[in-house]
Amino acid sequence: AKKPSWVFFHPMHLITASLAATAALLLIMFWPVHQEASKPNEPYRFVIYRPDVSQAAIAGDFTGWKAVPLQRNGSSGYWEISLSLPQGEHRYVFVLGGGERVPDPTVMTREQDDFGGENTVIATGGNA
């Protein structure tokens, strides 16, 4: 009597099936998750309290390191601006009065710049 074909398993078939199952599991576990379509840049609000200065600006990688003026918020001593930033990591500094460069006092992440000062570092966006 001939054995049915489903009864006979060759060891090589078991090894191949095990490898295929392992590969499929790894693909499922580590396949990149598709994110939502790229969102438009959302405004990021920068604020500094300096009632002692007559002008304030911000300069960063998102302005090409050119000073962009901040708006005085009445007579409160606060200066502010909202800028649309792309997702990712950004560096910036406030430029006050006669050119004094000051990192953002509300953000503790900083790095040394090439001129002996400090830049503030922020991350924007969902996974930034």
Give tens-digit pLDDT for 72-96: 998 899 999 999 998 899 999 999 9
Q: Is it the case that residue 58 has pLDDT exceeding 90?
A: yes
The pLDDT score that the predictor gives to residue 113 is: 87
> What pTM was computed for the model?
0.66
Give me the percent of the chain exceeding a pLDDT of 70. Answer: 67
Report residue 67's pLDDT band, with 50, 70 and 90 as the boundaries.
Answer: very high
Query: Residues 56, 77: contact at Cβ < 8 Å?
Result: no
The pLDDT score that the predictor gives to residue 25 is: 58
- In terms of pLDDT, which residue wins out, 96 or 2? 96
